[in-house]
Amino acid sequence: MTCSMSLPAEVYLKVLSNLRPLDLAVLSRCSRSQKQIVLPILYKTLSLQLWGGDPDGSSTLLLRTLSANPRLRYYIREVEVVNASSTLWTSGHSKLLGILLCSILTHPDRITSFRWKAGLLQTHIFFPGLVALECTQILNWTDVLWVRWHLLHCPSLKSLRLHLSKRISRHAGQWFLSQLSLRHVKDLCLQGADLSAMNIDVVDSLESLELKLCHGLDAFLARMISHGVPQSLKVLRIAGNITLKRLECFLSTVASRVQLEELSLRIGGVAETASTRFIRAIAPKVSNLVLDFRRDLCDPRTSVKYSIKDFQDMVSSLPMLTSVGVALDLRNPKYIRRYQRTKLEKGGFMEKSNLKSIHLRGHCVPLKRCIGDAKHLADPFAEISMARACGNTISNKNHMSLLACLMRSGRN
């Protein structure tokens, strides 16, 4: 591969992969050689953004182009269908979308990624070469059998993300999970599933496990303790109602076998947080950490908050930490009548930290106070970063840019 700037092929492709579709389209018209390079990147992903069942402007243009130029369909590797509107989805929308996809996806064996977040699943198209499968609405037996077919016939499938709808029958859901076979899957995410019937052997080869709002979570973690946590596990995300005692027992078992790189806990039905000392003990090399303990799992306003001292101890004792999401109580307890923030101790933990971002979980306060809280947390880190930059006393590896503090309610 050659290019006008004589860049290495890998670098040039990396640059192209970060360009907007409009820029790629312009570049493809420059020359024949550029066209051959750019077209596979430009049409790699069939992304349909729907609003109430109707495609937006860019999706309409893409569909029109693919309909007029059948040769371009050969380049499609990834399919993403998202209904971004809350408007009621009708069976008519699903039928039209199914006909449309059948006419566009003329090479289903070349599809490696399929993400479906819109209405009824189109179960009449099969993709034997899938690497990643994500479906947010598993509604009936047909959907279950469609997913099971891909689990049995896609040896390259590595990532599976499923949301079992409340509309699916209990029998269908339990049968699917009891027969679940994940011989090649490394990344598993289940939402709304009944884990009481799930085959525990499926976790043996997982590198990433995410369980969101699943029934029988407490008992499933107990079974994992007895069965044994896979040594390949690197990422663990749990969102659900579980006793703190069971959670700590499970995490202690995990820590005895693996070194987690990412740990995310959104736990409901608790009145206290897990101690920072316990978190440091079970995940000393974690780089991404989320801790959100709530009395009511679905209400971010009930988050039980850590103190500023807990936060400082956590950051100082986890040297690999780059991103943290945590519910923090910034109020200074000495001031009762008016809101006064607790100051962070400068030096020590900040200078050694690699922290890049903070997400304040459950921070349900007025916008003006949100902005003030974000500035209060970010300023001390920014001052140290500026001092380092001016003095050139630190390597690029440890240099820290301005800390981003995101204020959201934290449901995810």
Q: Which of 106, 124, 43, 119 is nearest to 78 (CA)?
A: 43
The CA-CA-CA angle for residues 120, 126, 132, to 5°, reads 85
Per-residue confidence (pLDDT) for residue 6, from 0 to 100: 73
* pLDDT tens digits, 32-51: 888 888 888 888 999 988 88
pLDDT at 255 over 60: yes
Which residues, 6+ apart, have CB-to-CB distance to 283 below 8 Å?
255, 259, 260, 263, 289, 318
Per-residue confidence (pLDDT) for residue 21, from 0 to 100: 80
Per-residue confidence (pLDDT) for residue 346, from 0 to 100: 66
Between 123 and 250, the more confident residue is 250
Per-residue confidence (pLDDT) for residue 177, from 0 to 100: 86
pLDDT at 2 over 70: no
Rounded to the nearest integer, the mean pLDDT of the chain is 83
pLDDT at 240 over 90: yes
Which of 9-13, 144-148, 286-290 has the weakest average pLDDT? 9-13
Which of 114-118, 251-255, 293-297, 390-394 has the weakest average pLDDT? 390-394
Per-residue confidence (pLDDT) for residue 189, from 0 to 100: 95
Per-residue confidence (pLDDT) for residue 383, from 0 to 100: 63
Between 304 and 384, the more confident residue is 304
Q: How far is CA 308 from CA 281, 314, 341, 377, 407, in A?
A: 19, 10, 10, 10, 16
Q: How far is CA 240 from the centre of its chain?
A: 16
Residues across the chain: 412
Per-residue confidence (pLDDT) for residue 317, from 0 to 100: 84
Distance CA 163, CA 116 (A): 11
Per-residue confidence (pLDDT) for residue 391, from 0 to 100: 52
The CA-CA-CA angle for residues 108, 112, 192, to 5°, reads 105
Which residues, 6+ apart, have CB-to-CB distance to 156 below 8 Å?
112, 129, 130, 131, 184
Per-residue confidence (pLDDT) for residue 388, from 0 to 100: 56
Which of 33-37, 188-192, 205-209, 243-247 has the weakest average pLDDT? 33-37
Q: Which of 286, 280, 364, 361 is nearest to 328 (CA)?
A: 361
pLDDT at 320 over 70: yes
Between 339 and 266, the more confident residue is 266
Which H, E and C letters describe the chain, residue by residue? CCCCCCCCHHHHHHHHHCCCHHHHHHHHCCCHHHHHHHHHHHCCEEEEEEECCEECHHHHHHHHHHHHCHHHHHHCCEEEEEECCCCCCCHHHHHHHHHHHHHHCCCHHHCCEEEEECCCCCCCCCCCCCCEEEEEEECCHHHHHHHHHHHHHCCCCCEEEEEECCCCCHHHHHHHHHCCCCCCCCEEEEECCEHHHCCHHHHCCCCEEEEECCECHHHHHHHHHHHCCCCCCCEEEEEEECCHHHHHHHHHHHHCCCCCCEEEEEEECCCCCCCHHHHHHHCCCCCEEEEEEECCCCCHHHEECEEHHHHHHHHHHCCCCCEEEECEECECCCCCCCCCECCCCCCHHHHHCCCCEEEECCCCCCHHHHHHHHHHHHHHHHHHHHHHHHHCCCCCCCCCCCCEEEECCCCC
**Average pLDDT of 362-381?**
81
pTM: predicted TM-score of the whole model, two decimal places: 0.84
- End-to-end CA, the chain: 43
pLDDT at 282 over 70: yes
**Average pLDDT of 141-162?**
91
Distance CA 280, CA 142 (A): 45
Burial label, 311 (beta-carbon count in 10 A; 0-12, 13-18, 19+):
buried
Residue in this structure with the two tokens 């140290």, named with its chain if needed: 384
Per-residue confidence (pLDDT) for residue 399, from 0 to 100: 37
**Average pLDDT of 305-324?**
87
**Average pLDDT of 149-168?**
90
Band the pLDDT of 390: cuts 50, 70, 90.
low
Per-residue confidence (pLDDT) for residue 335, from 0 to 100: 79
Is 44:75 a contact under the CB 8 Å cutoff?
Answer: yes
Q: What percentage of the chain carries pLDDT values higher than 70? A: 88
Q: How far is CA 325 from CA 247, 293, 363, 381, in A?
A: 18, 11, 11, 17
Q: How far is CA 48 from the centre of its chain?
A: 20
pLDDT at 121 over 50: yes
pLDDT at 408 over 50: no
Q: Which of 209, 256, 210, 217 is nearest to 240 (CA)?
A: 217
**Average pLDDT of 335-360?**
76
**Average pLDDT of 112-125?**
84
Q: How far is CA 236 from the centre of its chain?
A: 11
**Average pLDDT of 78-99?**
79
The CA-CA-CA angle for residues 228, 266, 382, to 5°, reads 115
Which residues, 6+ apart, have CB-to-CB distance to 182 below 8 Å?
151, 160, 188, 202, 205, 206
Per-residue confidence (pLDDT) for residue 367, from 0 to 100: 82
pLDDT at 400 over 60: no
Six token digits for residue 322 = 């780059």
